[in-house]
């Protein structure tokens, strides 16, 4: 029997995934996801496209600085400034990789790059050589490989391996390939690239025709050693190959594929929840592996079969992908350990001080509510993650209100060291405060929900304000706590403004990527 090969999992949730509409993540959220990917034991984390924006650069650098167990990659075009940015951003990484790409298909050569075949080869070789000056681990992608003439692809791949590329990634950039055809392409490269044994073949498939996973697995069968994918399959247009589907297909059908991965499958469900929560992109109910219905057996005949013998209708066990086995609620007597475990099963990877702060809040909440449900914990922690980025801070709030006066608010906010004050009137003191905050920050949001509740009883009780706002088509909830309910309202709204501002920063125009 042939030896079982280990397939490397290259996760690009933070780069290709983050690029998809509505999936922008702030720095704190990207770090959360990176920690989860490390816990899952992915082999490579593509942390971003360093040249794309200062935010991307900072994110790659932060991930490179913190992640120790995975290779950390940054994407670059074959341009000096791109490669320099990637080189600088991944410098702190224990295992840094630069991923360079250059389009090779005729349609891209003619209409995008306006270059002849020879020039494309030179550009690619020079890019790999430049990257080699920063790191040993260099990956090259001929963008739109699946629509590139096979003979030319052989020429490019041979040249970049000679220049030092250690991984050659074959992207189906536009999701055009068919599984049998894509497998044949990988076999063709293995048979015709003379130095192919000196580099790992990787694949990167898009899901425009719903075949990203099928194409990736066909490539694996044909000899590919690395698969690029994203959690929940997020990514440009219809997305990328979904990591959980790739991993569980290999896990379940290793007998047929004769390969394995190093992935900790029990982190799959928590990772899916985390990515869904930080991107706001819900997982469809009938999504393979991680959808809400993936393990639900409604049909009576199936239920009967399941009770008699699970494997009658179940090819994977929910516990293998980390679906929490109990719906137990937590209460005031739940300890720190139980709380931490629950947050992990909900997809959060909080560090020491974050856990302490969240646990404090949980205790306060548990004092008030007899039962604390998963949704309560999620709201609690989402505030925690979101508070890390404080563009605006509340410095002062003063209101006048009463039965015979027009409610007026004066608010002072700080951005960096700059203080700004403005006043506004409203239907009530809180409305006036919100108007003043919007005037200062220049951020317009629609308030959808406002609720106030006391956290403890007695005259020193703290008020907790929860609001739901809509900004740029996205809805989110934030909270504020204070002994003064007007101040608690202001804090909740400032948190919402910070959330909106972070989204704007992350949404800058980025160059096209494979
Ligand atoms: Zn892509």
Do residues 230 and 239 touch, judged by C-beta distance below 8 A?
yes
Query: 304 C-alpha vs ligand 1 centroid, how far in Å?
Result: 43
Query: 404 C-alpha vs ligand 1 centroid, how far in Å?
Result: 61
Give the C-alpha separation, 452 to 446, whole Å. Answer: 18
124-147 residue pLDDT tens = 999 999 999 999 999 999 999 999
- Which of 177, 122, 127 lies closest to 150 in space, CA to CA? 177
pLDDT at 287 over 80: yes
Cα three-residue angle 193-163-74, rounded to 5 degrees = 105
Query: 228 C-alpha vs ligand 1 centroid, how far in Å?
Result: 9
Confidence (pLDDT) at 113: 81
Query: 242 C-alpha vs ligand 1 centroid, how far in Å?
Result: 12
Query: 17 C-alpha vs ligand 1 centroid, how far in Å?
Result: 8
Query: 400 C-alpha vs ligand 1 centroid, how far in Å?
Result: 55
Residue 133 tokens read as 């000056």
Query: 229 C-alpha vs ligand 1 centroid, how far in Å?
Result: 9
142-151 residue pLDDT tens = 999 999 999 9
Q: What is the arrangement of strands in the sheet containing 474-482, beginning at the earlier edge strand?
A: 446-454, 463-471, 474-482
Query: 19 C-alpha vs ligand 1 centroid, how far in Å?
Result: 9
470-502 residue pLDDT tens = 888 777 777 787 778 899 899 999 988 988 887
Query: 237 C-alpha vs ligand 1 centroid, how far in Å?
Result: 9
Query: 171 C-alpha vs ligand 1 centroid, how far in Å?
Result: 7
Residue 380 tokens read as 């609690």
Query: 511 C-alpha vs ligand 1 centroid, how far in Å?
Result: 12
DSSP per residue, 249-286 = HHHHSHHHH-EE----GGGHHHHHHHHHHHH--PPPTT
DSSP per residue, 423-485 = EEE-SSHHHHHHHHHHHHH----EEEEEEEEESS-STTPPEEEEEEEEETTEEEEEEEEESSH
Do residues 379 and 362 touch, judged by C-beta distance below 8 A?
no
Q: 8 phi and psi, to 5 degrees?
A: -80, 135
Query: 415 C-alpha vs ligand 1 centroid, how far in Å?
Result: 36
**What is the rounded average pLDDT of the residues 165-173?**
98
Report the chain's terminal Cα–Cα distance, integer Å: 37
- Among 16-25, 300-309, 376-385, the least confident range: 300-309
226-239 residue pLDDT tens = 999 999 999 999 99
Query: 317 C-alpha vs ligand 1 centroid, how far in Å?
Result: 31
- Among 29-43, 52-66, 323-337, the least confident range: 323-337
Phi-psi category of residue 212: left, alpha or beta, with phi > 0 → left and psi -120 to 50 → alpha: alpha
Q: What is the arrangement of strands in the sheet containing 392-400, beginning at the earlier edge strand?
A: 392-400, 408-415, 418-425
- Which of 330, 326, 324, 327 lies closest to 344 in space, CA to CA? 324
Question: How many percent of the chain have pLDDT more than 90?
Answer: 59
Give the C-alpha separation, 512 to 24, whole Å. Answer: 16
In terms of pLDDT, which residue wins out, 368 or 265?
Answer: 265
Do residues 185 and 146 touch, judged by C-beta distance below 8 A?
yes
Query: 322 C-alpha vs ligand 1 centroid, how far in Å?
Result: 27
Query: 16 C-alpha vs ligand 1 centroid, how far in Å?
Result: 5
Q: Which residues contact 126 (CB under 8 A, 6 or more apart)?
A: 78
Query: 234 C-alpha vs ligand 1 centroid, how far in Å?
Result: 10
Query: 120 C-alpha vs ligand 1 centroid, how far in Å?
Result: 20
- Helical axes 268-279 vs 336-345, angle rounded to 10°: 80
Residue 305 tokens read as 């079969």
């Amino acid at each position: 029997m042939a030896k079982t090969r280990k397939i490397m999992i290259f996760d690009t949730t933070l780069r290709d995934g983050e690029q998809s509409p509505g999936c922008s993540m702030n720095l704190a959220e990207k770090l959360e996801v990176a920690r989860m990917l490390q816990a899952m034991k992915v082999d490579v984390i593509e942390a971003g496209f360093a040249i794309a924006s200062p935010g991307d650069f900072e994110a790659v650098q932060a991930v490179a600085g913190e992640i120790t167990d995975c290779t950390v990659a940054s994407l670059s075009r074959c341009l000096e400034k791109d490669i320099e940015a990637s080189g600088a951003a991944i410098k702190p990484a224990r295992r840094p990789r630069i991923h360079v790409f250059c389009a090779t298909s005729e349609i891209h050569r003619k209409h995008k790059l306006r270059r002849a075949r020879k020039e494309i080869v030179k550009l690619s070789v020079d890019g790999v050589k430049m990257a080699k000056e920063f790191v040993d681990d260099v990956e090259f992608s001929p963008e739109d490989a699946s629509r590139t003439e096979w003979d030319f692809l052989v020429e490019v791949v041979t040249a970049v391996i000679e220049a030092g590329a250690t991984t050659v990634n074959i992207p189906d950039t536009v999701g055009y390939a068919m599984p049998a055809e894509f497998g044949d392409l990988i076999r063709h490269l293995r048979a015709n690239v003379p130095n192919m044994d000196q580099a790992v073949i990787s694949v990167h498939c898009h899901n425009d025709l719903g075949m990203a996973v099928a194409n990736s697995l066909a490539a694996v069968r044909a000899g590919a050693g690395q698969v690029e994918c994203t959690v929940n399959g997020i990514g440009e247009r219809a997305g990328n190959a979904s990591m959980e589907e790739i991993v569980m297909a290999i896990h379940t059908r290793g007998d047929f594929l004769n390969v394995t991965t190093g992935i900790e499958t029990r982190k799959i469900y928590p990772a899916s929840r985390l990515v869904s929560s930080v991107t706001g992109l819900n997982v469809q109910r009938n999504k393979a592996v991680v959808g809400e219905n993936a393990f639900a057996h409604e049909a009576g005949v199936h239920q009967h079969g399941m009770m008699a013998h699970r494997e009658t209708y179940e090819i994977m066990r929910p516990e293998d992908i980390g679906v929490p086995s109990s719906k137990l609620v937590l209460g005031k007597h739940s300890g720190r350990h139980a709380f931490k475990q629950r947050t992990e099963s909900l997809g959060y990877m909080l560090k020491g001080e974050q856990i302490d702060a969240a646990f404090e809040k949980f205790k306060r909440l548990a004092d008030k509510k007899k039962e604390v449900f998963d949704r309560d914990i999620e709201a609690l922690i989402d505030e925690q993650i979101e508070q890390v980025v404080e563009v605006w801070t509340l410095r002062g709030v003063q209101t006048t209100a009463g039965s015979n006066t027009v409610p007026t608010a004066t608010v002072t906010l700080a951005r960096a060291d700059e203080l700004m004050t403005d006043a506004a009137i409203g239907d009530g003191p809180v409305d006036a405060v919100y108007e003043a905050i919007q005037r200062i920050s220049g951020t317009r949001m629609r308030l959808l929900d406002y609720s106030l509740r006391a956290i403890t009883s007695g005259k020193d009780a703290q008020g907790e304000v929860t609001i739901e706002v809509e900004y740029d088509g996205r809805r989110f909830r934030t909270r504020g706590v204070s002994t003064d309910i007007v101040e608690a309202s202001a804090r909740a709204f400032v948190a919402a403004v910070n959330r909106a501002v972070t989204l704007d920063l992350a949404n800058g125009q980025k160059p096209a990527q494979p």
